[in-house]
Amino acid sequence: MTELHDLSAVEQLAGLRSGTLSPPELVAHYLARIARLDDRVGAFVEVTAEAADARAAALTGTQPTGALWGLPFADKDLVARAGVPMRSGSRLHRDHVPTTTADQAAVLDEAGGISLGKTSTPEFGLTGYTETQIGPPTRDPWNPANGAGGSSGGAAAAVAAGLLPLAPGSDGGGSIRIPAATVGVVGIKPSRGRVPFASGLDSPGGLPVAGPIARSVADAALLLDVQCAGRPHRFATRAPASGPFLSAATTPSPPARIGVTTVSPWDDADDIRLDADAARAVDIAATLLSDAGHGVDGFRWRPRGYAEMFTTLWRTSAARMALTDAELELVEPITAWLVREGRRLTGSELLQALAAASVFEQETIAAFDPFDAVLTPALALPPQRVGWFDRDDPVRGFSQQVRYAPYSSFVNVAGLPAIVVPVITDASGHPVSVQLIGRPGGEATIVSLAAALEHRAGPMPKPAIWSR
């Protein structure tokens, strides 16, 4: 029997608009699944059942308006919602309750969505795994012995387990794409400047942007459309318009030229080893795209000087947090290390890193320019066991994150759009994903190509928890 969570977000919306589904019915279904199953996943840090029920009741009997009318979602726990605890994955903020609602949440409310609570994130969103001092780790619904990635780990795990139809996330160095690829769902990192309320243009190096996580390319495109349209742009620089992206997900792409590379900018700085299934996923994706009529070619790419520059930018971002020396004794070791190392940087070192980032951006865009999209692995390694990332030795832990996901952060530095989509399964049946990187403002192209991959790869299996 088809359950409500078996329907795509687009199908659920159609049911809501036709009246065959009601907001209270859908909210009750997901709240029941969260109550029954989330102790095995650790996707949520706060469930706001009473507020969600009230919101669903208020929508009942009204005219369906808004692109997400009646559809459940949840806020990442780095996003303020008035009256709801915002812990940011840290015991420093265990009792913090905002009095105002951030645009990231308000935009989805205004589109008619219903928040069910807060999804888990590592401390201040600084790591590519979601294991904190304030709660249980977030686990891969396919294998609860493994972690779900980060920093939008709770959002991705909730979607993969059928606890939400879709979820917003944020991505400063892979924080949407890493967990999405880890648990086998779709994640989109938009171009710098694309999403007005989280454009990246107000941060050092322009790294963090907001984006969607969903089970299908079309569902992710639906949420991206909402995120892009919800607020006016605050900066003169923005990505060129190319939406709506839901249309791109349902419209075949004209013949495109696609470059393929397994080179990462970390190759000269760390021991990057590509897992055999990750390599096979790239080969099969290339074949599927070629069979669809696209030109697919390998190419040489030799990025230079990336590791030192990115590490400086990441430490600088952490150093902006207003933490006292006493508070630094209470945070995770990697947080304290990043903050202290960032505060030791001189103005000259920061300026050199920003200049290097600008050069890297220009050189990467030039190297990728012959192609409409570039295909890479999504991750270098398969999902790792909870506790695999060293939380006591921050230098080793940082290196492990690089080796796990060396294809993510450089896309943020270059300001390009990217999408991860599962295309094969490994021997255990777990989905394995690839990444498509677009030109500046090229979300529509990569969304269309990812939808073609999704179609040609066929339906991915679902974790056992899905049917419970």
Catalytic residue annotation = 76, 151, 175
SS3 state at 259? strand
Please report how the helices 306-319 and 347-368 are oriented relative to each other, as an axis angle in degrees rounded to 10.
130
Pair of tokens at residue 284: 């099969």
Half-sphere exposure of 34 (CA within 13 A, CB side): 30
Give the closest residue to 432 by CA, choosing from 215, 224, 182: 182
What CA–CA distance (Å, rounded) separates 112 from 115?
Answer: 10
| Residue 452, both tokens | 């073609």
Rounded distance between C-alpha atoms, residue 204 and residue 61, angstroms = 46
Count of residues making up the chain: 468
Residue 284 half-sphere exposure, CB side, CA atoms within 13 Å?
Answer: 20
Q: Which residues contact 127 (CB under 8 A, 6 or more apart)?
A: 150, 151, 334, 389, 397, 401
Q: Choose among 212, 177, 209: nearest CA to 193.
A: 209
